[in-house]
Amino acid sequence: MRGMATLERSTMAAASVTEDILDNGLRVLIQEMHTAPLASVWCWYRVGSKDEPTGRTGVSHWVEHMNFKGTTNIPRDKVKGIIEQFGGYWNGYTWIDQTTYTETATRDALDRMLFIESERMANCLYDPADCESERTVIISELQGGENDPDTLLDQELTAIAFKAHPYRHPTIGWLSDLQTMTREDLYAHYRRFYVPNNATLVIVGDVDTTEVMRGVVRHFGRIASGDVGRRPQTREPEQAGERRVTLSREGTTAYLKLGYHAPAVGDSDFFPMLVLDAVLTGAKGVNLWASFRTPPPQRSARLYRALVDTGLASSVSGGLVPTAEPFLYTMSCTATSGTPLAKLEEAALAELDLVRRQGITALERDKAVHQLHARLVFENDSVTNIAHQLGYFETVASWQLVSTLRERIESVTLDQVGAAAAARLAALNRSVGWFEPLPAGAGVDARTGRGAGREPVSS
């Protein structure tokens, strides 16, 4: 194959995605889209905060920061300019299952984009002075999240919901680990996980597949594979009872969060839960990069009607995202001024208990499926978003799942939603978080070691 033996190749006619795997294990996904003279490159690594050992939480995110600091062949002050001279866009993020880097620019920048990602994979520098300066940046980022009550409550809720699984740790890490990690710790993590056999390279846009593969082989073919040496993850024990956390600090707004252990994307009730969430809080789709940037349709959502329309809450949101292992389905409510959190929680749980006992209606199911279908269309409106979905799903399951999303959503039945609600929304499976604001001057619950929230952490 174009200078390297092909271990695997498959083409999905429906999605026009071509897959190749190089001898060194690098998986390459290419989708030609000739609607505009653009190309998007994403390089995905199967490493996130769940892969971090005790004492090294936050190392994946810190490594992501360091990988924008220049390489053997790209001076640090030239990294931005390589893409920006083509009018392009670049970024990256770290979350619980993955770390990724992206560039989108005109198609004539494709070779430069491949060059950048090959350099990032093999030749990052980790200058000790850069490591120290970035420590300050990341700790400041952590403290900024700590000062946001909603973000802090989200982190604390996740920490009590999980006792054993590393999903309990914030992506940005715990403060004590960020204070003690060394340059050697960072570089060892980089060298262990940033190898081609732990990566997926995605290219979508106005490209020719054969020419793209020539460029991929030229830039990545000589990079050696490595032994990632994955450890088995601790399986989270079944929760035996409701868990609660209450935070009190100076502030003006009260927040309520409800977290329920949720299925992984490969579990049979993931898509029934996705439909259920659309009924409860509005359809959001499954694109972690784009779905949550546009508010969902909520006027007919059950929790919106029960909490916002009645004046108990000023906003309601829900979050169910595809993950490699079972994570959380979280609902967040912002209380209106003067509304006691106990009253807000009582109303929210009453609505959830009603759904748990009676399920949803056929009209609600059909409307949720229609809205989710629309979200799937909107979140694939660019080469950047399409490339993101292919790579993201490859890190949590398989890229081939992307072309089946609509079918899986449309096949969800009322009985499946009812069964998922009955099992997943049980009190034994629930964690509850309160943030009760204190008046100015009442004092702050001074604690250290807090991280940022559960959203992906970008550079």
Section 2-24 average pLDDT:
60
Section 414-443 average pLDDT:
94
pLDDT at 369: 98
pLDDT at 10: 36
**What is the per-residue pLDDT across 94-148, written as a single tens digit (0 to 9) for each?**
999 999 999 999 999 999 999 999 999 999 999 999 999 999 999 999 999 889 9
Strand partners, 319: 330
Average confidence score pLDDT of the chain? 92
Q: Three-state SS across the chain?
A: CCCCCCCCEEEECCCCEEEEECCCCCEEEEEECCCCCEEEEEEEECCCHHHCCCCCCCHHHHHHHHCCCCECCCCHHHHHHHHHCCCCEEEEEECCCCEEEEEEEEHHHHHHHHHHHHHHHHCECCCHHHHHHHHHHHHHHHHHHHCCHHHHHHHHHHHHHCCCCHHHCCCCCCHHHHHHCCHHHHHHHHHHHCCHHHEEEEEEECCCHHHHHHHHHHHHCCCCCCCCCCCCCCCCCCCCCCEEEEEEEECCCCEEEEEEECCCCCCCCHHHHHHHHHHHHCCCCCCCCCHHHCCCCCCCCHHHHHHHCCCCEEEEEEECCCCCCCCEEEEEEEECCCCCHHHHHHHHHHHHHHHHHHCCCHHHHHHHHHHHHHHHHHCCCCHHHHHHHHHHHHHHCCHHHHHHHHHHHHCCCHHHHHHHHHHHCCHHHEEEEEEEEECCCCCCCCCCCCCCCCCCEEC
pLDDT at 440: 83
Section 69-76 average pLDDT:
93
pLDDT at 397: 98
pLDDT classification of 458: cutoffs 50, 70, 90: low
Residue 13 has pLDDT above 60, yes or no: no
**What is the per-residue pLDDT across 284-326, written as a single tens digit (0 to 9) for each?**
999 999 877 888 999 999 999 999 999 999 999 999 999 999 9
Residue 402 has pLDDT above 70, yes or no: yes
Residue 34 has pLDDT above 80, yes or no: yes
CATH 3.30.830.10 fits 243-446, yes or no: yes
Residue 9 has pLDDT above 60, yes or no: no
Domains 9-220 and 243-446 are alike in CATH topology: yes
pLDDT at 444: 52
pLDDT at 76: 83
Bigger pLDDT: 445 or 176?
A: 176
Bigger pLDDT: 87 or 339?
A: 339
Residue 12 has pLDDT above 60, yes or no: no
d(CA 65, CA 79): 13
pLDDT at 217: 98
Residue 259 has pLDDT above 50, yes or no: yes
d(CA 420, CA 414): 10
**What is the per-residue pLDDT across 188-243, written as a single tens digit (0 to 9) for each?**
999 999 999 999 999 999 999 999 999 999 999 999 999 999 888 899 999 999 99
**What is the per-residue pLDDT across 41-64, written as a single tens digit (0 to 9) for each?**
999 999 999 999 999 999 999 999
Task: Give the domain ranges of the chain.
Answer: 9-220, 243-446
**Considering only the top CATH level, what class is 9-220?**
alpha beta
Q: Which of 66, 195, 184, 185 is nearest to 122 (CA)?
A: 195
